[in-house]
Amino acid sequence: MSESKLTSDLLRGHTDTMMLRLVSEADRYGYEIVKLLAERSGGDYELKEATMYSSVRRLEVDGDIEWYWGDESQGGRRKYFRMTEKGKATYDRNKRNWEYAKRVLDNLL
């Protein structure tokens, strides 16, 4: 791994928030989420599918996202995820917590 690559340890705990961000913009399916995270990080962060689906299960159980089957006309039948009202509140809270932690770390480092 190159030095510029992010370790999964650094972002562990923020996977749910990253996923909530993506589904806040539009309904998404699993592979699309993985692909978008890699693209938006400029290839510096790759979310493993197993980690993504663990996060999806957590977010579903907590009531932050829900899923539905997409239209078959888009190729295969895909399972799409969308954010709930509770998910919007969770995302906002998690983002504020991240911004606070970032300020603290910026001061310390």
The verdict on residue 55 lying in a domain is yes
User: Do the domain assignments include residue 1?
Assistant: no
> Does a structural domain hold residue 68?
yes
Q: Specify which residues 29 forms β-bridges with.
A: 80
DSSP symbol at 62 = T
Residue 63: inside a domain, yes or no?
A: yes
pLDDT digits (tens, 9 = 90+) for 61-104: 999 999 999 877 666 789 999 999 999 999 999 999 999 999 99
Report if residue 38 sits inside a domain. Answer: yes
Overall domain count for the chain: 1
CATH number at residue 74: 1.10.10.10
Domain that includes residue 29, residue range: 8-107
Give the global pTM. Answer: 0.84
Q: What is the pLDDT of residues 37-64, one digit of tens each?
A: 999 999 988 889 899 999 999 999 999 9
Flag whether 3 is in a domain.
no
Q: Is residue 93 part of a domain?
A: yes
Domain contains 56: yes
Q: CA 83 → CA 43, 76, 89, distances in Å?
A: 25, 22, 10
Q: Which amino acid is at 84?
A: T
Helix ranges (H only) for 12-84 are 15-25, 30-40, 49-61
